[in-house]
Structure 1
Amino acid sequence: MLLRQLKLSNIRSYIGETISFPDGSIVLSGDIGCGKSTILLAIEFALFGTSRTDLPAELLLRKGTLEGSVELTFQLQDKEIIIMRKLKKDHKSIKQVSGFISVNGEQKELTAVELKSEILNLLGYPEELLLSTKNFIYRYTVYTPQEEMKLILQDNADIRLDVLRKVFNIDKYKSIRDNLQIYLKEMRTDIAVIKTRLEPLPEVMEKVVILSGEKEKLQVGLNQLLVPLQDLRGKINVQRQEIEIFERQHLEFLKLQQEQKMKFMLKETKGRQLVELQQQLENFEHKKTNLPEGLDKERVKMELNSLELQTSEVLQKKSSLQERVQQLQQNMIQEKQEIRQLEEQTSVYIEKEELLLGLKKMVDEGNILESQKKKLDEHFIQISSQISMNQTLLHQSKQLQQKILQLEECPMCLQNVTHDHKSKISHVESEKVAGAEIILKNLDMEKVEVLNRQQEVTTKIQEWNLQKNLLTKTEVELGQLKEKQHSLTIKKERMMNLITQNNQIMQEFSVVTLINIEDLQLKIKTHQEMMQIILHHEQMQQQITLIKTQKENIMQELTILQDELILVEEQLKEKLDLTEMVKERRLQLQDVMEKEKTLAVEEGRLKATILNFENQENDLRLQIVKFKKMEVELKSNQNLYRWLDGFFMPLMYTIEKHVMIHIHNLFNQLFQEWFDI
């Protein structure tokens, strides 16, 4: 890479400077603070941008300025590259803004990070330096900042090695060794922990053997207990079956007894019902009366319906007429109120017409006022223009007087200006000033007069506008009054129709009132009493028929019950009462079940103990499996530890040593070539 040119703008001590680099070796010399280091920092900034730790933006931008930039031109192989970076200050901090890079004339606008990526790619630097905040390779291979080389040479060997590792990007070998030491330490801890966890393994295996022996003993006892227990359970099943047979026979005996009692009680109940029905039948026969002659149910029913229908029609018509009369009267009252309101509202119609005629005459005069106002506005503009022109002339004359009085030499002919010439020109300009002041005074007076006339005309126009608005309002009000007059005419016609309808309804109502409702209601009552007599007679007849039917049914049921009672008594004679035998067999079953319960409890205890021992044994065997896995893990960790500590660690030392020797040989060869020149 060959540097060609560097342009600085507001960078540290440089306000605006262009530095060209010739071919060959270059020495930067000068006093302290003259800007030698600034050139190197500007080159680093152009290539890699700012860095918060090594090259902050605040270190580069000139104090008191808001923007700065660096443009670097260099040659890389057969490419001419121009890169430009910018700095900008805001109210909080100084930041990098977008710049550009040009390769053989092809320019690209890029952000600060994108510019750094392009440069790293062109120079062949590692990609991981893109996110690094330190430019070790550039700083310690291209140039070393002031005083830092001295510190490097005077530090101890370990620090110098660390610097070389960072410069040549081979500190990864030391990082591997450091990380490996940490990992080996953790492995030693893990191995010690596993050994500690494996200490209970012999004790656990001994417990497994003991539990197996105890479990075998309990199993032998359980097998000995099962034989008598099975015998007892067999006896229990046999006795339960015998008891079930006896209980079924006894239950059949009890059911027959219960059925006998129920049928006997039902027979007595039916007998009492039969007596009661006979008494009711006699009462109804005694109460039953013959119907009067000439009573026909259908005829009476038809006459009653006709009377009720006639009465209902009269009442409905009367009610309907009353409702219609009330509705008409309400409508008439409402129409009267609306007519009264409309008459009051339309009473001012003549006054509004007279007002409208007067307003139309006044509105016609407004056009003359607008013409006067337009002329006054034009006159005011002319006066203002003349005033402005005269003020300009007055100002120019006064300035000319001042310049002439101060002028000693003519700018055109370069001769001295005499006092007489100054006085002559000053006199002429004074006359112009006096004339302009008189004209301005007259124009001001005329302007005041025009303004007063404008104000008067404006006031009259405002009044005219008010009258014009009043005219529009009056026209609208007259339109509304005409509509109300039309509505008033319609409502009066409607009122006459309502009065006519009311008279017709009142005539119909007088006709309806002539019908005697009380006579109709009396006839209806008489027919209703006749219907009640007929219905009562029919009900009595129905009750007698029903009682006779019930009486026959009960007598048939009594015959059936008597036959069933005889059959139940014959079945009871064939059955035995087994109550005592069932009790005796139950006591025997209870004794056997007590013995079985004792043996079953012992069986459950033995099984629970065996199951507990099995669970403990399974848990211990699971622990043994875990311990075996831990032993395998321990052996694996020990083998890995021996390999890492005995082989891999020395290998990292050897690789780093060979790399350092290779770098040393390369630099030794380069230095020999340089100094041989």
Structure 2
Amino acid sequence: MIIKKIILENIRSYEREEINFTEGSTLLSGDIGSGKTSVLLAIEFAFFGLQPGQKGSSLLRNGKNEGRVIMSFEIDGNEITIERVLKRGKTITQESCFIEINKEKKELSVTEIKSKILSLLNYPQEFAKKQNILYTFTVYTPQEEMKEIVLEDPEIRVNTLRHVFGIDKYKRILENLSILTSKLREEKRIKENFLSLLEQNISLLELKEKQLSEKKEQLPLLELNFNEKKEKRKRIEQEKNSISEKLEEKNKLKSEIEKTKIIILNKRDLILSNNKRIEELKKQIEELKKINFNESQILEKEKEINEKNKEKEKISLLLIEINSKINSYSIKISENKNIDSKILTIDICPTCLQNVDPVYRANISNKLNSEISEFKNKILELENEKENLNNKLKKINLELSLSEKEFTNLKILKMKLESLNEKESQISSLEKDNISLDKDILLLNEHLNFLNKSVFDLEKFENLSSKVEEEFQQSLKEERVAEISLVELKKEIEISSKQIQEIMLNVKKYEDAKLEINYITDLENWLSKQFTSLISFIEKNVMIKLKTEFSKLFSDWFSLLVSDSFNVQLNDEFTPIIQQQDYELDYSYLSGGERTAIALAYRLSLNQVINSMFSKLKTKGLIILDEPTDGFSEQQLDKMRDVLQQLKVNQLILVSHEQKIESFVENIIRFKKENWVTKIESINKN
């Protein structure tokens, strides 16, 4: 992995700066407090965000509401850019997080981006929710924490190193093993208690099998009893149905009797009606025989009516003619009056246009008036004649009406006389009908007697019906009792069979439990003794191997930094043991440079051991050292060149204010702070 670029915006003493990195060694140079360590903190923040216990105020620039870190780096040829944002509210919190891989940008939550970074760096995911001490011990340890691990309480230091090396898994295995063996012992106790019920279940099984055998012996007897009750019920039911049929037949006969009686009554009523009609017809015949009727009377009356109609028609024609004449005379009178009125007013003739003589006008007027008088007399004569004709017509109409009435009566009388034979035929037919009806009544009475006898014969089944019904209900009750007893016994047999099966399964479980108890006992013994010893042995050997390798590397690195008069190694608690001329020296008696050398050697050895154990870590080619030469003498500073050459890493980022260190590195980035703002002063390459 190579860090290529980082942008700090409103981070600590930075307003906005872009810093580019290359492979090889790079020195961040500047006065104390110029902002060098801020770059290292920004790199750690870009990777992992705010760590547990770390406050946002330690990074966000005072007086600013928002700050961000954008870092670009390369892993296995993949270009990756991370952007993290801090925002000031009631508290300072991480807001937006972005990651861009090969120009594909995504926004992720704080948790998601940390998990993604751990995956890219090949770090265990267990560090997702805790402080990433793997990064702290292999890549970057803050300046103030360089000597902490050396001065730490031995037990805390060992537990921390166990965690970093992954050896604490053996401790967890032993702790989990203790829990597991405890649970196995508890399970064994439960199964042993369960096993104590075995004898009880065996005794219960024998009892249940005996009871089941007895019930199975009772089953054929109850089945036989049920079948007998069932057959008895069927026989009585058949008898009951037969009686019901007889009673139904009796009811049908009764209904037939009622119908027959009604038919007899109807026929008797019909005979009475026929007799009455015969009497009426005989009376009508006697009356008709008394009538004196001659058919010539009808012809004479018909002739008389025709003559009167002719006379009536003749008078009507005369009246029409008279009315026509009266109308004609009335028109002439009107015309003469009209001409007379015009003549009296004309002075000049319209034809010859000469003056009309008054004498001439008077003559014409007299002539017209004379004609008018004549016409009126004729009209008067015609009116008198018309009145005589109308009177005559009225008389004829009256006579005609009387004649037509007499004619109608004669025709009716003729029709009555003609119906005489028909009435005699009706009397004969009705008398024959009465004879037939009498015969029918006789037969119906015989049939009625037969029906009454049949009903009487069926009366005995009425009393028998209630007795058989009682017997049927009793047999039905007995059948149900027998059936219930049989069903209950079958159910008991079924339940007993299931209980026996369950008990047999339990017995099988008990037998299996015996095997399980033996297995658990063997497993618990093996885990408690052999496996526990094996894990402890493995842990001890791993710790010895790590301590040996760690101690050798620690001694080698320390010998590069300090004179040969010192001999250093690590004890079983990974505490540095410093000896000089066979005398053991306390850490507190060392000079400042020697203490720094101890811390740096410890740090570099720890880095090598961890990278050796976790060979797939993507950060193993990166080391960041923050003021590693604090208190170094000139001689120790000279030896730093050898140390840096021995590191053999892809990228080394070094923070130091020592000017001599500048000649040991390939790249130099100078920082300067003015007015509380850090700026990059220059970038140099050696």
TM superposition score normalised by structure 1: 0.45
The structure with the largest alpha-carbon Rg is 2
Which is strand-richer, 1 or 2?
2
Which is helix-richer, 1 or 2?
1
